[in-house]
Amino acid sequence: LEHFINWYDGGAQGNPLCRDKVRVFDFEMATIEHVYAENATERDEELDTLLDTLGNLTILSQFENNNVGAASFAEKRAVFAASTSALNQQIAAEPVWTADIILARKLRLVEIGTKVFII
C-alpha cells in the first residue's frame, strides 16, 4: 500500500500508479512492529484490545525494530519520522497513539487496499 498513498490521497481516480518502481525490498530483513508495544512497560487496557490489529502494526527493518522493542510511542516516534515509509511518517505525525487513531488507521489501510487490489 505504501506506493499507492499519493494516488489514494489525490482522490483515487483512474488506475493506481506505483510511485517508485525501482525500489527493491529485502523482505527477509523486514519485520512487523507493534506501534503500541507487545511488551509495553506501561499497559493500557484499551490499547491492549487493539494490540494485534492492522491499525497498530507497521513494517520496520530488523535493525529499527530491535532498537525500538518495547519502547513507548513517544520514544518510537523518532524512528517512524526518520523512516523512508510514508505510512511510518504518518504514524510519527500523531502526537499520541490512541485507540481512536488505531481504529482510524485500520479503516484507512483497508480502504486503500480495497481500492488498489480490486478482484
Secondary element (H or E) of residue 66: helix 62-68
Cβ 59 vs Cβ 111: under 8 Å: no
Residue 14 pLDDT level (bands cut at 50, 70, 90): confident
Give CA–CA dist 62/102, Å, rounded: 23
Q: Each residue of 37-66: pLDDT tens digit?
A: 999 999 999 999 999 999 999 999 898 888
Mean pLDDT confidence for 83-103: 96
Beta bridge partners of 61: 30
